Structure 1
Amino acid sequence: MSVHEKKYTNRLIHEKSPYLLQHAHNPVDWFPWGPEAFQKAKREGKPVFVSIGYS
């Protein structure tokens, strides 16, 4: 299935990490680690959920 056939694509599609790319089509508005995520959370008064991977 190509990127164009996916129902949802989030920001992780632009990352290089295989782990992050696995989640690029999750119906979650994931952000890679960086200031944009923290600025949005602060602006909206929301917590930040951090996923550190799994084994």
Structure 2
Amino acid sequence: MVGGNDDPGYPGPTVVTRNPEFFCGIITSMRVGNLMLVLLNLPLIVSLGS
């Protein structure tokens, strides 16, 4: 996702070394999103299990 484009306007694979704050922000936002999805799906798992 981060290294998808090599165009001058888009961040490439060097975003990890040039902008580590931006890269860590992307990783953190994906982790928070996954955690929210797990918490939202827990009631569905319980209801389907019974």
TM-score normalised by structure 2 residue count? 0.26
Larger Rg: 2
* Bigger RCO of structures 1 and 2 (CA < 8 A, at least 6 apart): 1
